[in-house]
Amino acid sequence: MTEPSSMRGKSVLVTGGTGGIGRATAEALAALGARVLITGRDTARTEAAAAGIRATSGNTEVEALAADLSSQAEVRRLAALVLDACPRLDVLVNNVGGFWAHRHETPDGLERTFALNHLAPFLLTNLLLDRLRASAPARIVTVASGAQSMGRLDFDDLQGAARYSGARAYNQSKLANVVFSYELARRLDGTGVTATVLHPGVVSTGFSAEDPSTLSRVVLPLIRPFLKNPARGAATSVHLASAAEVEGVSGKYYVGLRPRTSSPASYDTGAAARLWRISADLVGLDPS
Protein backbone atom coordinates (compact mmCIF):
# COMPACT_ATOMS: atom_id res chain seq x y z
CA MET A 1 0.00 0.00 0.00
CA THR A 2 1.26 3.46 -0.86
CA GLU A 3 0.87 6.52 1.29
CA PRO A 4 -2.08 8.81 0.46
CA SER A 5 -1.19 11.31 -2.24
CA SER A 6 -1.26 15.06 -1.77
CA MET A 7 -4.72 16.47 -2.47
CA ARG A 8 -3.60 20.05 -2.96
CA GLY A 9 -5.62 21.78 -5.65
CA LYS A 10 -8.41 19.17 -5.47
CA SER A 11 -11.99 19.72 -4.34
CA VAL A 12 -13.86 17.03 -2.39
CA LEU A 13 -17.44 16.70 -1.20
CA VAL A 14 -18.05 14.42 1.81
CA THR A 15 -21.69 13.83 2.72
CA GLY A 16 -22.49 13.23 6.36
CA GLY A 17 -19.30 14.93 7.43
CA THR A 18 -20.30 16.20 10.87
CA GLY A 19 -19.31 13.09 12.84
CA GLY A 20 -18.11 9.51 12.75
CA ILE A 21 -16.52 8.14 9.60
CA GLY A 22 -17.56 11.14 7.50
CA ARG A 23 -15.87 13.68 9.72
CA ALA A 24 -12.74 11.54 10.03
CA THR A 25 -12.66 11.22 6.23
CA ALA A 26 -13.01 14.98 5.81
CA GLU A 27 -10.28 15.65 8.39
CA ALA A 28 -7.83 13.29 6.68
CA LEU A 29 -8.48 14.69 3.20
CA ALA A 30 -8.21 18.26 4.49
CA ALA A 31 -4.89 17.34 6.13
CA LEU A 32 -3.73 16.17 2.69
CA GLY A 33 -4.43 19.65 1.37
CA ALA A 34 -7.80 19.23 -0.34
CA ARG A 35 -10.53 21.81 -0.37
CA VAL A 36 -13.27 19.91 1.50
CA LEU A 37 -16.98 20.55 1.61
CA ILE A 38 -19.01 18.64 4.21
CA THR A 39 -22.74 18.18 4.61
CA GLY A 40 -24.91 17.76 7.69
CA ARG A 41 -28.57 18.20 8.54
CA ASP A 42 -28.17 20.92 11.15
CA THR A 43 -26.59 24.25 10.14
CA ALA A 44 -24.96 25.01 13.50
CA ARG A 45 -23.56 21.51 13.92
CA THR A 46 -22.25 21.44 10.35
CA GLU A 47 -20.56 24.83 10.77
CA ALA A 48 -19.04 23.69 14.07
CA ALA A 49 -17.74 20.49 12.46
CA ALA A 50 -16.15 22.47 9.61
CA ALA A 51 -14.48 24.78 12.13
CA GLY A 52 -13.18 21.79 14.06
CA ILE A 53 -11.80 20.18 10.91
CA ARG A 54 -10.08 23.44 9.94
CA ALA A 55 -8.45 23.57 13.37
CA THR A 56 -7.43 19.91 13.41
CA SER A 57 -6.12 19.77 9.84
CA GLY A 58 -4.58 23.24 9.65
CA ASN A 59 -6.45 23.69 6.36
CA THR A 60 -8.66 26.77 6.08
CA GLU A 61 -10.45 25.46 2.98
CA VAL A 62 -13.15 23.46 4.74
CA GLU A 63 -16.72 24.52 4.09
CA ALA A 64 -20.10 23.58 5.56
CA LEU A 65 -23.23 22.92 3.51
CA ALA A 66 -26.33 22.08 5.55
CA ALA A 67 -28.86 19.76 3.90
CA ASP A 68 -31.13 16.91 4.98
CA LEU A 69 -30.38 14.35 2.28
CA SER A 70 -33.45 12.26 3.06
CA SER A 71 -35.34 14.99 1.14
CA GLN A 72 -34.96 15.06 -2.62
CA ALA A 73 -35.53 18.81 -2.68
CA GLU A 74 -32.62 19.18 -0.26
CA VAL A 75 -30.41 16.92 -2.37
CA ARG A 76 -31.16 19.06 -5.41
CA ARG A 77 -30.49 22.25 -3.44
CA LEU A 78 -27.19 20.82 -2.21
CA ALA A 79 -26.15 19.85 -5.74
CA ALA A 80 -26.87 23.39 -6.94
CA LEU A 81 -24.76 24.83 -4.10
CA VAL A 82 -21.86 22.50 -4.92
CA LEU A 83 -22.00 23.30 -8.63
CA ASP A 84 -22.00 27.01 -7.81
CA ALA A 85 -19.13 26.72 -5.31
CA CYS A 86 -16.91 24.26 -7.18
CA PRO A 87 -15.71 24.99 -10.73
CA ARG A 88 -14.18 21.53 -10.49
CA LEU A 89 -15.07 18.53 -8.34
CA ASP A 90 -12.40 15.85 -8.06
CA VAL A 91 -13.90 13.50 -5.49
CA LEU A 92 -17.41 12.77 -4.24
CA VAL A 93 -17.58 10.66 -1.08
CA ASN A 94 -21.11 9.32 -0.59
CA ASN A 95 -20.81 8.68 3.13
CA VAL A 96 -24.16 9.68 4.63
CA GLY A 97 -26.37 6.85 5.88
CA GLY A 98 -28.36 5.58 8.81
CA PHE A 99 -30.39 2.83 10.46
CA TRP A 100 -33.90 3.02 11.88
CA ALA A 101 -35.52 0.18 13.80
CA HIS A 102 -39.00 1.38 12.83
CA ARG A 103 -40.37 2.52 9.50
CA HIS A 104 -40.27 6.28 8.90
CA GLU A 105 -41.30 8.20 5.80
CA THR A 106 -39.47 11.13 4.26
CA PRO A 107 -41.13 14.35 3.00
CA ASP A 108 -41.30 12.58 -0.39
CA GLY A 109 -43.35 9.73 1.08
CA LEU A 110 -40.49 7.23 0.80
CA GLU A 111 -39.12 4.84 3.40
CA ARG A 112 -36.29 6.68 5.11
CA THR A 113 -33.57 4.01 5.03
CA PHE A 114 -33.95 3.42 1.29
CA ALA A 115 -34.28 7.16 0.64
CA LEU A 116 -31.22 8.27 2.59
CA ASN A 117 -28.88 5.32 2.13
CA HIS A 118 -29.54 4.65 -1.55
CA LEU A 119 -31.65 7.27 -3.32
CA ALA A 120 -29.74 10.26 -1.88
CA PRO A 121 -26.34 9.15 -3.24
CA PHE A 122 -28.00 7.99 -6.47
CA LEU A 123 -29.59 11.40 -7.05
CA LEU A 124 -26.67 13.51 -5.82
CA THR A 125 -24.16 11.57 -7.89
CA ASN A 126 -26.23 11.92 -11.04
CA LEU A 127 -26.73 15.66 -10.48
CA LEU A 128 -22.96 16.14 -10.10
CA LEU A 129 -21.86 13.79 -12.88
CA ASP A 130 -21.29 16.43 -15.53
CA ARG A 131 -19.01 18.38 -13.19
CA LEU A 132 -17.13 15.22 -12.23
CA ARG A 133 -16.68 14.29 -15.90
CA ALA A 134 -15.40 17.78 -16.67
CA SER A 135 -12.92 17.44 -13.78
CA ALA A 136 -11.63 14.00 -14.82
CA PRO A 137 -9.74 12.14 -13.59
CA ALA A 138 -12.30 12.15 -10.78
CA ARG A 139 -13.50 9.63 -8.23
CA ILE A 140 -16.83 8.61 -6.70
CA VAL A 141 -16.44 6.70 -3.44
CA THR A 142 -19.51 5.19 -1.77
CA VAL A 143 -19.57 3.87 1.78
CA ALA A 144 -21.54 0.64 1.98
CA SER A 145 -21.21 -2.06 4.65
CA GLY A 146 -20.47 -5.73 5.08
CA ALA A 147 -24.23 -5.95 5.69
CA GLN A 148 -24.55 -5.97 1.89
CA SER A 149 -23.80 -9.70 2.07
CA MET A 150 -27.09 -10.24 3.93
CA GLY A 151 -29.09 -7.92 1.69
CA ARG A 152 -31.75 -8.78 -0.86
CA LEU A 153 -33.32 -6.37 -3.35
CA ASP A 154 -37.02 -6.96 -2.75
CA PHE A 155 -38.40 -5.34 -5.90
CA ASP A 156 -41.94 -6.14 -4.77
CA ASP A 157 -41.46 -4.15 -1.56
CA LEU A 158 -38.40 -1.88 -1.80
CA GLN A 159 -40.07 0.62 0.53
CA GLY A 160 -40.84 -1.91 3.27
CA ALA A 161 -44.52 -0.99 3.09
CA ALA A 162 -45.81 -4.56 3.30
CA ARG A 163 -43.45 -5.59 6.07
CA TYR A 164 -40.63 -3.66 7.66
CA SER A 165 -37.54 -4.71 9.54
CA GLY A 166 -34.80 -2.24 10.36
CA ALA A 167 -32.11 -4.84 9.68
CA ARG A 168 -33.70 -5.95 6.42
CA ALA A 169 -34.08 -2.37 5.20
CA TYR A 170 -30.49 -1.52 6.12
CA ASN A 171 -29.02 -4.66 4.53
CA GLN A 172 -31.00 -4.02 1.35
CA SER A 173 -29.83 -0.39 1.19
CA LYS A 174 -26.18 -1.40 1.57
CA LEU A 175 -26.53 -4.01 -1.17
CA ALA A 176 -28.10 -1.26 -3.27
CA ASN A 177 -24.98 0.87 -2.67
CA VAL A 178 -22.79 -1.87 -4.12
CA VAL A 179 -25.12 -2.64 -7.05
CA PHE A 180 -25.38 1.09 -7.84
CA SER A 181 -21.61 1.55 -7.74
CA TYR A 182 -21.01 -1.36 -10.11
CA GLU A 183 -23.64 -0.11 -12.55
CA LEU A 184 -22.27 3.43 -12.28
CA ALA A 185 -18.77 2.15 -13.06
CA ARG A 186 -20.09 0.41 -16.17
CA ARG A 187 -21.84 3.58 -17.32
CA LEU A 188 -18.76 5.72 -16.67
CA ASP A 189 -16.29 3.43 -18.42
CA GLY A 190 -13.93 5.52 -20.53
CA THR A 191 -14.93 8.88 -19.01
CA GLY A 192 -12.04 9.20 -16.56
CA VAL A 193 -14.47 9.08 -13.62
CA THR A 194 -14.22 6.00 -11.39
CA ALA A 195 -16.73 4.50 -8.96
CA THR A 196 -15.69 2.35 -6.02
CA VAL A 197 -17.56 1.12 -2.96
CA LEU A 198 -16.36 -0.04 0.44
CA HIS A 199 -17.00 -1.67 3.78
CA PRO A 200 -15.39 0.51 6.49
CA GLY A 201 -15.44 -2.16 9.20
CA VAL A 202 -17.47 -2.02 12.38
CA VAL A 203 -16.88 1.45 13.76
CA SER A 204 -17.80 3.17 17.01
CA THR A 205 -20.07 6.03 15.91
CA GLY A 206 -23.52 7.42 16.70
CA PHE A 207 -24.99 5.07 14.11
CA SER A 208 -28.67 4.15 14.79
CA ALA A 209 -28.85 6.53 17.77
CA GLU A 210 -32.12 8.14 16.58
CA ASP A 211 -34.10 4.91 16.56
CA PRO A 212 -32.03 1.97 17.80
CA SER A 213 -33.25 -1.60 17.88
CA THR A 214 -33.60 -3.41 21.19
CA LEU A 215 -30.64 -5.61 20.24
CA SER A 216 -28.37 -2.64 19.55
CA ARG A 217 -29.33 -1.02 22.87
CA VAL A 218 -28.16 -4.14 24.67
CA VAL A 219 -25.19 -5.17 22.54
CA LEU A 220 -23.53 -1.90 21.49
CA PRO A 221 -22.45 -0.79 24.99
CA LEU A 222 -20.81 -4.19 25.46
CA ILE A 223 -18.89 -4.28 22.19
CA ARG A 224 -18.11 -0.57 21.79
CA PRO A 225 -14.63 -0.87 23.39
CA PHE A 226 -13.70 -3.38 20.68
CA LEU A 227 -14.91 -1.37 17.68
CA LYS A 228 -12.73 0.66 15.33
CA ASN A 229 -12.44 4.37 16.06
CA PRO A 230 -13.72 6.69 13.29
CA ALA A 231 -10.21 7.47 11.98
CA ARG A 232 -9.51 3.77 11.39
CA GLY A 233 -12.97 3.35 9.92
CA ALA A 234 -12.30 6.20 7.48
CA ALA A 235 -9.01 4.72 6.23
CA THR A 236 -10.55 2.93 3.24
CA SER A 237 -12.56 5.98 2.16
CA VAL A 238 -9.44 8.14 2.36
CA HIS A 239 -7.41 5.57 0.45
CA LEU A 240 -9.94 5.34 -2.38
CA ALA A 241 -10.28 9.13 -2.52
CA SER A 242 -6.58 9.93 -2.56
CA ALA A 243 -4.13 7.10 -3.19
CA ALA A 244 -2.26 7.11 -6.48
CA GLU A 245 -2.33 3.31 -6.63
CA VAL A 246 -6.11 3.27 -7.12
CA GLU A 247 -6.11 5.89 -9.89
CA GLY A 248 -8.27 4.43 -12.66
CA VAL A 249 -9.63 1.59 -10.50
CA SER A 250 -13.39 1.32 -10.92
CA GLY A 251 -16.22 -1.08 -10.22
CA LYS A 252 -14.49 -2.63 -7.20
CA TYR A 253 -15.60 -3.34 -3.61
CA TYR A 254 -12.96 -2.67 -0.96
CA VAL A 255 -12.51 -4.02 2.56
CA GLY A 256 -9.44 -3.09 4.59
CA LEU A 257 -7.76 -1.23 1.69
CA ARG A 258 -7.96 -4.28 -0.57
CA PRO A 259 -10.45 -5.23 -3.29
CA ARG A 260 -12.74 -8.05 -2.20
CA THR A 261 -15.57 -10.07 -3.70
CA SER A 262 -18.98 -8.76 -2.68
CA SER A 263 -22.15 -10.84 -2.42
CA PRO A 264 -23.28 -12.89 -5.43
CA ALA A 265 -26.44 -10.75 -5.65
CA SER A 266 -24.35 -7.61 -6.18
CA TYR A 267 -23.09 -8.87 -9.55
CA ASP A 268 -26.56 -9.36 -11.06
CA THR A 269 -26.51 -6.92 -13.98
CA GLY A 270 -30.21 -7.43 -14.68
CA ALA A 271 -31.08 -6.44 -11.11
CA ALA A 272 -28.67 -3.48 -11.39
CA ALA A 273 -30.41 -2.18 -14.51
CA ARG A 274 -33.81 -2.64 -12.86
CA LEU A 275 -32.72 -0.87 -9.67
CA TRP A 276 -31.34 2.01 -11.76
CA ARG A 277 -34.63 2.42 -13.66
CA ILE A 278 -36.72 2.31 -10.48
CA SER A 279 -34.39 4.72 -8.66
CA ALA A 280 -34.42 7.16 -11.58
CA ASP A 281 -38.21 7.08 -11.61
CA LEU A 282 -38.41 7.68 -7.86
CA VAL A 283 -36.15 10.75 -8.05
CA GLY A 284 -37.45 12.11 -11.36
CA LEU A 285 -34.40 11.47 -13.55
CA ASP A 286 -34.09 10.10 -17.07
CA PRO A 287 -32.92 6.49 -16.54
CA SER A 288 -30.57 6.74 -19.52
CATH label of the domain that carries residue 225: 3.40.50.720
| 26 Cβ contact list (under 8 Å, min separation 6) | 12, 14, 17, 36, 38, 49, 53, 62
Domain that holds residue 172: 11-281
Task: Indicate if the pLDDT at residue 257 is higher than 90.
Answer: yes
Q: What is the DSSP string of the chain?
A: -PPPPP-TT-EEEESS-SSHHHHHHHHHHHHTT-EEEEEESSHHHHHHHHHHHHHHH--S-EEEEE--TTSHHHHHHHHHHHHHH-S---EEEE------SS--B-TTS-BHHHIIIIIHHHHHHHHHHHHHHHT-SEEEEEE--GGGGG----TT-TT-SSS--HHHHHHHHHHHHHHHHHHHHHHHTTTTEEEEEEE--SB-S-TT-SS--HHHHHHHHHHGGGSBPHHHHTHHHHHHHH-GGGTT--SEEEETTEEE---GGGG-HHHHHHHHHHHHHHHT----
| 23 Cβ contact list (under 8 Å, min separation 6) | 17, 38, 49, 52, 53, 230
38 lies in some domain: yes
Share of the chain above pLDDT 70, in %: 89
215 lies in some domain: yes
For residue 14, give the nearest of 141, 130, 118 by alpha carbon.
141
286 lies in some domain: no
100, 211 in Cβ contact below 8 A?
A: yes
79 lies in some domain: yes
In the chain, what is the greatest distance between 2 CA atoms, to the nearest angstrom?
Answer: 50
Task: Indicate if the pLDDT at residue 213 is higher than 70.
Answer: no
5 lies in some domain: no
pLDDT band at 218 (very low <50, low <70, confident <90, very high): very low
Q: Please report how many Cα atoms fall inside a 13 Å half-sphere around the Cα of residue 42, on the Cβ side.
A: 6
152 lies in some domain: yes
Give Cα 92 distance to the centre of its chain. 9
Task: Indicate if the pLDDT at residue 286 is higher than 60.
Answer: yes
Q: Give whole-number Cα distances, 150 to 168, 218, 266, in Å.
A: 8, 22, 11
| Mean pLDDT on 113-136 | 98
Residues 243, 128: Cα–Cα separation, whole Å: 22
pLDDT band at 1 (very low <50, low <70, confident <90, very high): very low
Dihedral (Cα; 44, 50, 56, 61), 10-degree rounding: -150
pLDDT band at 229 (very low <50, low <70, confident <90, very high): confident
Query: For all residues of the chain together, what is the average pLDDT?
Result: 92
Residues 176, 170: Cα–Cα separation, whole Å: 10
3 lies in some domain: no
Q: What is the pLDDT of residues 172-210, one digit of tens each?
A: 999 999 999 999 999 999 999 999 999 997 654 555 456
Terminal-residue alpha carbon distance, the chain: 37
pLDDT band at 3 (very low <50, low <70, confident <90, very high): low
| Mean pLDDT on 80-106 | 97
pLDDT band at 120 (very low <50, low <70, confident <90, very high): very high
Q: What is the pLDDT of residues 129-170, one digit of tens each?
A: 999 999 999 999 999 999 999 999 999 999 999 999 999 999
Please tell me the predicted confidence (pLDDT) of residue 96: 96
pLDDT band at 220 (very low <50, low <70, confident <90, very high): very low
What is the CB neighbour count within 10 angstroms for residue 130? Answer: 11
**Count: domains in the chain:** 1
If one compares 76 and 214, the residue with the highest pLDDT of the two is: 76
- Active-site residue set: 170
Please tell me the predicted confidence (pLDDT) of residue 230: 81
130 lies in some domain: yes
Task: Indicate if the pLDDT at residue 232 is higher than 60.
Answer: yes
